[in-house]
Amino acid sequence: MTMEHYLKIMDSHVHRYGIPAQVSLQGEGEPTLNHDFFNMAAHVRRIGSEPTTITNGSYKYPEHFAQSFKKIGISLDTLDPAEASRVGRHNLARVLEFIESVSSFLEVTIFTVAISPSFHAVAAWCQQRGLKHIVQPLQSKPDYNYRYPQHVVVHPRPSLYQCAYLQQDLMRYYAIDSGEFPCCFIKDARHYVSIADLKQQLANKQIPASCSGCKELK
């Protein structure tokens, strides 16, 4: 996402909803790979909002986070270098150094996916260092299939046809093409039309294809 595109989305959001309490600068890839990542974070801070992100901890200059961030999340699924490489997290040593460094000046939360066989070891490691640790359960939605094909479970049908993200406008998630979503759980947008369309389908006791299997659907 370019800076220009980001500013357009932010201006539109602030115009319609006001200044958000928090802006999470992250998507489906590593956020620090965006050349304007820290410019975006500075902009979030400038407008009076709180920038956050979840990084894989591979960024070489942890001190850059001090300019705009007060807290960040870092993904860490294992402490075993071989296992880390197997899941595409190369250079675990650098990630651990990054955590050590940023946690000296920022509030750090470690995120581990619940399917990681090492999440107990990561939890103990965080406890020793006084770091907050969150184990992320996987969504049971079919559109998570392509990343975690062996772990998708079928969610029971909802009885209330309600979702807190639609009832209370808990968040807005913006896709690279400026598509606006009510949550960050719609990974396959082929069947997605709009927030109003999701609300209408649920009011008609229909499960929108984009929401199928979602654990937030009650």
Residues 6 or more apart in contact with residue 45 via CB below 8 angstroms: 51, 68
Tokens representing residue 151 in the block: 């772990």
Among 38, 59, 174, 185, binds ligand SF4 (CB under 6 A): 185
To the nearest whole angstrom, how small is the minimum distance from the Cβ of residue 217 to ligand SF4?
Answer: 4
Cβ atoms within 10 Å of 34's Cβ, excluding its own: 18
By CB under 6 A, residue 182 contacts ligand SF4: yes
Single out the segment in contact with ligand SF4 by CB under 6 A; choices: 39-47, 82-90, 96-104, 178-186. Answer: 178-186
What sign does the dihedral 22-110-67-60 (CA atoms) show? Answer: negative
Tokens representing residue 83 in the block: 């296992």
Tokens representing residue 200 in the block: 């209408």
By CB under 6 A, residue 166 contacts ligand SF4: yes
By CB under 6 A, residue 211 contacts ligand SF4: yes
Among 34, 99, 186, 192, binds ligand SF4 (CB under 6 A): 186
Single out the segment in contact with ligand SF4 by CB under 6 A; choices: 60-68, 87-95, 145-153, 162-170. Answer: 162-170
Whole-angstrom Cα distance, residue 77 to residue 122?
7
State the residues that interact with ligand SF4 by CB under 6 A. Answer: 163, 165-166, 182-183, 185-186, 198, 210-211, 214, 216-217
